[in-house]
Chains A and B, each alone.
Chain A
Amino acid sequence: MALTGQPPKSLSLNQKLATVLGMMGMGILLLATFNVAFPNKTLWLTVSLLAISFGTIWFSWDAYSKKLPGIKNDGVWFKSISSRGLWGWMAGLALTGFYIILYFYPEYLGQVNGGENKGVIALFDPLSKLLSGNPASQWFVYGTLYTVAILIFGVKFLWKYRHNRYERLRTFSVMFFQLAFAFIIPEVMARLNGDKILEGGSLPYYDLKSVWPLNYYNFEGYRIKGFLSSGDIGFALLIFGILSIFVITPILTYRYGKRWYCSWVCGCGGLAETAGDAFRQLSDKSLNAWKIERWVVHSVVVFVTLMTTAVVYSYLGTDTNKYWLTKSTFLIGVTVLLTLVFGWVMIFKRAQLQKDAQYGAIGYFVIIITLIGFHFLSGEGQVFLFKSETLRKTYSFLIGSIFSGVIGTGFYPIFGSRVWCRFGCPMAAILGFQQRLFSRFRITTNGGQCISCGNCSTYCEMGIDVRAYAQKGENIVRASCVGCGICSAVCPRGVLKLENGPLEGRIDSNQILLSNDVDLMSLVNQK
């Protein structure tokens, strides 16, 4: 956001005015945070959100609508905000600060335990009451701003990629799922609580598209109680939550790759693709980063599995007469499931795993099974050596708050827009595991057309060195690929295509540089 300088990094007059307008909208929120009393909250909240929205949309309109359709990354690496310059660091600090306050010090936003809201949260009361009938909370404020961000930066993205229908449809999709599924439906669902239709029960807040383990708390005791107390609808939602991870996501990921979720539906992905788009180029593409990514993200999966197992275990009973699912049957079930998955991979898919992935898989499997076995041997007591509550709290703090929020989004302008999705999200890791081993999705490399320019790698938000594959004529089948399609969009030579096709020949490590001497290629491919 360099306000001075030469084209292409300078701002036009329109963009400067738009920035001022947007900042004024933010200013209202800031004043409210410092307890400036706004006489008419509805009016001032509307003014603020409209100013922010119009500022952003005006800015983008000026940036893209006057240019011919096409890839317009001009000056991305000159602008301070998008190249880790002063503005980038300041934005990073501001966002990080916001997340720390949001998660750990909501009282500074006006959250009052057992009393009426103050500050900026109070400013959002009218909107919250309109939707759910309840006063706002810090999460409502966050959810609203989050949704507004996806919508207005979504509009920017739609302009920027107006020549690309894949990008447009994908962006409409994330905008829709955020607005409807993450924001409006759960709020409205809250109105049903206590209603006859729920048999007087009360549903937990449920963003239907947020699947366990991203939604790591989905099977915690209080939520299960909520579901089970809410009649058929509650029970159906609980079943839906279980089917989501065990049936629906595997089928969709098999057919389309994990992109159907990560860059078409998911809220974290939605924010990364819209508000985070200006920072996608900042992701680290080094081999080292890839190594760290694989260990960290899979460790999170193990952590969330252990934590959820322990939590579910903690509220289950022991008496089979009361309920068929007891502590023991549950643990046996988990063991069987993990063994099946582990066995399937090791027997059928081992060749597709790198050495360290094999060691990792074996190591983690042994750890989990040992812990479960340890439990059985030691008789009653806490599972996994720790109290389930300790595990849950630790996960919620480290992964749920620090990783996904403070680092994941706060550091957009420093580490790029997908830090959370790449290093931290257990959902992305599970879908990625399926994508790598059992999916029709791949990015096809177009024969020999690659010129190694590096646009694909530079603009890969997941830090995949796309070029390393493309220049060898190899398809790109990476667990982390979220299928955003930007590599294909920025490629000046039409080399990359995201597509679903037969499993056969999908992962071909042979070099297929076409229009070359056939005999030569067979020599080159001799290992």
Chain B
Amino acid sequence: MEHIVIIGNGIAGVTAARHIRKLSDKKITIISSETQYFFSRTALMYVYMGHMKFEHTQPYENHFWKKNRIDLIQGLVTQINTADKSVLLEDGQSIPYNKLIIATGSKPNKFGWPGQELEGVQGLYSKQDLDLLEKNAPNNTFCKRAVIVGGGLIGIELAEMLRTRNIPVTFLVRENSFWNGVLPSGESQMINEHILEHHIDLRLNATLKEIVADENGRVKSVVLAETGEEIPCNSVGLTAGVTPNIDFLKDSGIALGRGVKVNRFLETNITDVYAIGDCAEQHQAIGNRRPVEAVWYTGRMMGETLAQTICGNKKEYNPGHWFNSAKFLDIEYQTYGWVFPEKKKKENETHFHWRHTREKNCITIAFDRDSKQLLGINTFGIRLRHQVIDQWLNEKRDIDFVMAHLADANFDPEFYRTYENDIISKFNADFGKSIKPKKKSLKRIFQLG
């Protein structure tokens, strides 16, 4: 029986395993050094916040794996021997494979800051990081202040986590506005305001010079590069992005770039070795996507695709329209298609932006200046129906159609206030149009008759 060995039990590896099991009878082994069972990485924050226990982050009951004949090994792979097709574990065990899937995910970036290895300094990615945070910042008497370095999704999540324990937080963001390498300025500005509302000491245009140790080798403060200001703190979170977790592959003969180099079939340069998820790097970027996509959904899609290939249905990784979502403290964010920030957008990408006068709701719609075709939508504090937007992108709908049918795309809970009329009248004013909103139609939404 063919033996499929998967390194990594995150969403990519586990999805691949599940689908291989659906399609075949192959022997499947998942190796992970992190945890015994699959858990949702994105949910770790809720464990620290007390919303869930760790076991709640596990999507499958423990008996699931045995029932589906997916063998789990908790151990660290130190070496891959592609010549005799085996992986070597830290404890000396050697596991032979017929096909190998590398799905080892990411690790937090560390940019060589002085003091980055001190006690009390950590990233936030793994279950181990979560346990460490419980040690470094259990409460606000032990941790009188925490400093977070890096203004991205993990940074703001870490800030939210620490604030639930009333730990004062200083948040260092290199850019002049939060996450404005991804978000257009109006949205980024709204999030800046929301961060301050949560009593987080947001420092824009601020980079880390060094982390200073006390006499015991623990962090005692950080020093800012721009001003030289020293901020006393007991814990430092390094959240300046992630990078593929592939150090153990250095001498394996598998071609590496930033991540494990793969083609569209998710094959590496070595036969029968594949890579998926955060750690895979496409030779050629797909559309506007980045070569390395460290996102939950893409990990899942790669897992689904590769399972087909491994079970004899050779398939290219062919993701559809880009989408993503996040939550910034209390504000939900969704994005579909492409909405680029000012500094990255092409000339033909026109933005329409609306923001509520009092509440924290806003929307940005990107469309082509000439063809008027919808390029993408960002919403904050408004939920959108994925299926409707996906359909509009497929049908290459123009902005006028999108504005008129905006009510169809709303996915907020029933009885929520809707903002379509406000949004459309601002659009009409901005672009000299006279579009009238159409009423929400179940017929259109559910594509009946």
- Which residue numbers of A lie inside 8 Å of B, CB to CB? 6-9, 68-71, 73-79, 163-166, 169, 286-287, 444, 446-449, 451-455, 457-458, 467-468, 471, 485, 488-490, 492-494, 497-499, 501-502, 504-505, 512-520, 523-524
CB of B442 within 8 A of chain A? yes
Within 8 A of A (CB), among B35-92: 40, 42-43, 46, 49-53, 56-59, 61
Q: Which residues of B contact A166 (CB under 8 A)?
A: 413-416
Given contacts A77-B50, A499-B414, A502-B446, contact A451 B165 (CB under 8 A): no
Q: Which residues of A contact B139 (CB under 8 A)?
A: 6-7
A74-B318 in contact (CB<8A): no
Given contacts A6-B141, A286-B61, contact A77 B330 (CB under 8 A): no
A454-B59 in contact (CB<8A): yes
Q: Which residues of A contact B323 (CB under 8 A)?
A: 447-449, 514-515
A165-B417 in contact (CB<8A): yes
A77 vs chain B, min Cβ distance (A):
5
B59-A494 in contact (CB<8A): no
B386-A448 in contact (CB<8A): yes
Chain B residue at minimum C-beta to C-beta distance from A521: B304
30 inter-chain pairs at a CB distance below 8 angstroms, sorted by A residue, are: A6-B138, A7-B165, A8-B50, A74-B50, A77-B53, A169-B415, A287-B61, A448-B300, A449-B334, A451-B42, A452-B40, A453-B42, A453-B43, A454-B57, A454-B59, A467-B59, A493-B326, A493-B332, A494-B325, A497-B411, A501-B446, A502-B446, A515-B319, A515-B320, A515-B386, A515-B390, A517-B305, A517-B316, A517-B319, A523-B313
* Bound CA span A498–B413, Å: 7
B419 vs chain A, min Cβ distance (A):
13
Q: Which residues of B contact A169 (CB under 8 A)?
A: 415
Q: Which residues of B contact A448 (CB under 8 A)?
A: 297, 300, 323, 386
Q: Which residues of B contact A164 (CB under 8 A)?
A: 413, 416
Interface of B is mostly: loop
B322-A515 in contact (CB<8A): yes
Q: Which residues of A contact B49 (CB under 8 A)?
A: 8, 73-75
* Bound CA span A163–B417, Å: 10
Say which residue of A68, A512, A523 sits within 8 Å of B315 (CB atoms): A523
B131 vs chain A, min Cβ distance (A):
16
CB of B189 within 8 A of chain A? no
A451-B52 in contact (CB<8A): no
* Bound CA span A17–B300, Å: 50
Q: Which residues of A contact B386 (CB under 8 A)?
A: 446-449, 514-515
**B288-328 interface bits toward A, Cβ cutoff 8 Å, 1 = contact, 0 = none:** 00000000110011001100100001011111111101110
Chain A residue at minimum C-beta to C-beta distance from B394: A518
* Bound CA span A6–B49, Å: 12
Chain B residue at minimum C-beta to C-beta distance from A168: B415
B301-A493 in contact (CB<8A): no
Given contacts A74-B50, A78-B50, contact A68 B330 (CB under 8 A): yes
Q: Which residues of B contact A452 (CB under 8 A)?
A: 11, 40, 42-43, 59, 296
B51-A73 in contact (CB<8A): yes
A76-B50 in contact (CB<8A): yes
Return the 6 tightest CB-CB contacts between A and B, nearest first.
A447-B386, A70-B330, A494-B383, A453-B43, A6-B139, A75-B50
* Bound CA span A505–B446, Å: 8
B317 vs chain A, min Cβ distance (A):
8
* Bound CA span A312–B387, Å: 52
Q: Which residues of A contact B384 (CB under 8 A)?
A: 494
**B349-381 interface bits toward A, Cβ cutoff 8 Å, 1 = contact, 0 = none:** 000000000000000000000000000000000
CB of B128 within 8 A of chain A? no
CB of B27 within 8 A of chain A? no
A497-B446 in contact (CB<8A): no
CB of B166 within 8 A of chain A? yes
A497-B383 in contact (CB<8A): yes
B305-A520 in contact (CB<8A): yes
Given contacts A7-B166, A517-B319, A517-B320, contact A453 B57 (CB under 8 A): yes
CB of B198 within 8 A of chain A? yes
Q: Which residues of B contact A71 (CB under 8 A)?
A: 51, 330
Q: Which residues of B contact A453 (CB under 8 A)?
A: 40, 42-43, 46, 52, 57
Say which residue of B56, B385, B387 sits within 8 Å of A454 (CB atoms): B56
A493-B325 in contact (CB<8A): yes
* Bound CA span A524–B308, Å: 8
Q: Which residues of A contact B319 (CB under 8 A)?
A: 515-517
Q: Which residues of B contact A519 (CB under 8 A)?
A: 315, 318
Given contacts A68-B198, A165-B415, A452-B59, contact A516 B304 (CB under 8 A): yes
Q: Which residues of A contact B166 (CB under 8 A)?
A: 7-8
Q: Which residues of B contact A79 (CB under 8 A)?
A: 50
Given contacts A8-B165, A448-B297, contact A455 B43 (CB under 8 A): yes
B320-A504 in contact (CB<8A): no
Q: Which residues of A contact B61 (CB under 8 A)?
A: 286-287
Given contacts A287-B61, A498-B414, A502-B448, contact A451 B43 (CB under 8 A): yes
Within 8 A of A (CB), among B414-449: 414-417, 442, 445-446, 448
4 more contacts with CB within 8 A, not counting A452-B296, A453-B43, A497-B412, are A74-B164, A467-B59, A514-B320, A517-B318
A463 vs chain B, min Cβ distance (A):
13
Given contacts A68-B330, A449-B334, contact A165 B325 (CB under 8 A): no
Q: Which residues of A contact B322 (CB under 8 A)?
A: 515
Q: Which residues of A contact B42 (CB under 8 A)?
A: 451-453
B294 vs chain A, min Cβ distance (A):
13
CB of B329 within 8 A of chain A? yes
Q: Which residues of B contact A494 (CB under 8 A)?
A: 325, 332, 334, 383-384, 411
Chain A residue at minimum C-beta to C-beta distance from B334: A494
A517-B51 in contact (CB<8A): no
CB of B140 within 8 A of chain A? yes
* Bound CA span A151–B386, Å: 38
Chain B residue at minimum C-beta to C-beta distance from A459: B51
Given contacts A77-B53, A517-B305, A517-B319, contact A502 B11 (CB under 8 A): no
B163 vs chain A, min Cβ distance (A):
9
